[in-house]
Amino acid sequence: MRKISDWGNYPVIEAEVNGFDTTEQLKRQLELPGDVIAFGNGRSYGDASLQDRVILTRRFNKFLSFDESTGELCCQAGVLLSEILDVFVPHGWFLPVTPGTKLITVGGAIAADVHGKNHHVDGSFGQHVLRMDIMRNDGSVISCSPTENAEFFNITVGGMGLSGIILNATFRLRKIETAYIKEETVRAANLEEIMDGFEMSEDWTYSVAWIDCLARGDAMGRSILMRGEHATTTDLVNQVHKNDPLTVKKGMHLGIPVNFPNFVLNPLSMKAFNFVYYNKTRPGKHEHVVDYNSFFYPLDAIADWNRIYGKRGFTQYQFVIPKAAGREGMRTILKRITDSGLGSFLAVLKLFGEQESFMSFPMAGYTLALDFPISVKAMSLFKELDAMVADYGGRLYLAKDSRMDAEMFEKTYPNADEFRQAIALLNEGGTRFASLQSKRIGITG
């Protein structure tokens, strides 16, 4: 038995954990009775990969093949996105979609159907998966793709590990000329400006905004819009970069050695942080060339930053509301958050593009993500926010969730019922795939 938790350090549970190197070993684990769930790299925030018995996938992490003519990579599900970047960026290839941390597994990327700053042009990770093999609860392996066993494919992408253990996946990498991003930052004085900013940035491959959730009144929603394109060799000005356009210096790694005491995080310190961050960007537009790590993964440079929230842990509230409800909806919800004064260091705003999918989170609309230290006050705020999000036709991201109830899930995920039935059918006999989350939100019993 070992103590285990996901990224928010809430909840922390005792579980029996086992990894595997071969499908045979995995099969033997699935022959034991009881509930299990796959655990990738524990970068979901809540309890999506937690259960009394957890199957670690990190050791199942081999690259199986790569086709240089098409960029098709086939790898086992425990490979980290960071390992893919380490190997392939120097050869001129990049991930089709990446979330704000590269320390997640391919299995976790598919199970949560993660999105990145390019969602409005390239969709989510699952849309780039060409094929995958999945082990079901009876130990059989099923191959699926958008056309072969498509139903199974569709409930696995965004299915949070409930249909089986993803063994391997094939997806296409994108060609890049350099390891750098041409970035433009634009300061926006309030919510109106930032939303205009997004709508005018639709031609950019990458866009995202950092938003100051503590600013109120006219300044509510003040933010910094960051948009980017993969730099070409001609975009590079620095001679060192020019000489070796596909290698970046290994970043400095800061670590947070222990959990921060609670008093460090208070409304004042957060306000100060947000103020400094906003004001370090001068008004107007700024262009610079940055390496891909600083553009996509600023937080990965600080190892274990989750510890700043202390022992009580934290959660991220990430919701999306449809574009139609967009401006008014965002204003109302954001106002409720800023009024609460509970907001966080990090609030990220993004405009998603269209997405049709069975269980995945994204839909055309605005998504906002904020961290909250766990507290009674925050929990009751979330309840209020849930009602607002549901009213506007939006929903919460399962990969970040550790607290929503079954009713909220049922109301906001249109295929909840069908999904529950499909999972029940798959789970018949022997081991069941279920997480603490799936029990809480009523997908599994």
Partner 1 sequence: MKNVLILGATSDMAQAIAKKYAAEGWSLTLGALEADLLEPIASDLKVRSGTEVLTFKFDATDFSGHRKCYESLPVKPDAVIACFGYMSDQEKVRNDVEDIRQTIDINFTGMATILSVIAEDFEQRGRGAIAAISSVAGDRGRQSNYIYGSAKAGLSAFLGGLRNRLAEKGVHVMTVKPGFARTKMTENLELPAALTASPEQIAEAVFQGLEKKKNVIYILWMWRWIMLIIRCIPEFVFKKMKM
Ligand X SMILES: Cc1cc2nc3c(=O)[nH]c(=O)nc-3n(C[C@H](O)[C@H](O)[C@H](O)COP(=O)(O)OP(=O)(O)OC[C@H]3O[C@@H](n4cnc5c(N)ncnc54)[C@H](O)[C@@H]3O)c2cc1C
- Binding residues for partner 1 (CB under 8 A): 1-3, 16-19, 21-22, 56, 59, 61-66, 73, 76, 87
Whether the CB-CB separation of 135 and 165 falls below 8 Å is answered with: yes
Binding partner of residue 76 among partner 1, ligand X, none, CB under 5 to 8 Å per kind? partner 1
Query: Which of ligand X, partner 1, none has residue 18 at its interface (CB below 5 to 8 Å by kind)?
Result: partner 1
Tell me the C-alpha distance between 316 and 11, whole Å.
Answer: 13
37 binds, among ligand X, partner 1, none (CB under 5 to 8 A by kind): ligand X
Name which of partner 1, ligand X, none residue 3 binds, using a CB cut-off of 5 to 8 Å depending on partner kind. partner 1
Cβ closer to ligand X: 104 or 408? 104
Backbone dihedral region for residue 442 (phi beyond 0: left; psi -120 to 50: alpha; all else: beta): left
- SS in 3 state form for 172-189? ECEECCCCEEEEEEEEEC
Closer CB to partner 1, 89 or 408, in the complex:
89
38 binds, among partner 1, ligand X, none (CB under 5 to 8 A by kind): ligand X
Q: Which is nearer to partner 1, 106 or 342 (CB)?
A: 106
| Nearest residue to 135 via CA among 162, 157, 167, 112 | 167
Chain contacts with ligand X (rule: CB under 6 A):
6-7, 37-44, 48-49, 57, 77, 99-101, 104-105, 107-108, 111-112, 114-116, 160-161, 165-166, 299, 399, 435
Q: Dig out the tokens for 431 from the structure.
A: 């081991």
- CB closer to partner 1, 64 vs 301: 64
Residue 409 near residue 430 (C-beta atoms within 8 A)? no
Q: Residue 1 burial by CB count (10 A; 0-12/13-18/19+): exposed, middle or buried?
A: exposed
Spatial distance between the Cα atoms of 305 and 299, rounded to a whole number of angstroms = 8
CB of 322 vs ligand X, minimal distance in Å:
18
Query: Facing residues of 80 across strands?
Result: 105
CB of 203 to partner 1, least distance (A): 35
Closer to ligand X by CB, 218 or 354: give it: 354
CB of 142 to partner 1, least distance (A): 19
Residue 245's binding partner among ligand X, partner 1, none (Cβ under 5 to 8 angstroms by kind) is none
**With 0-12 CB in 10 A as exposed, 13-18 as middle and 19+ as buried, what is 144?**
buried
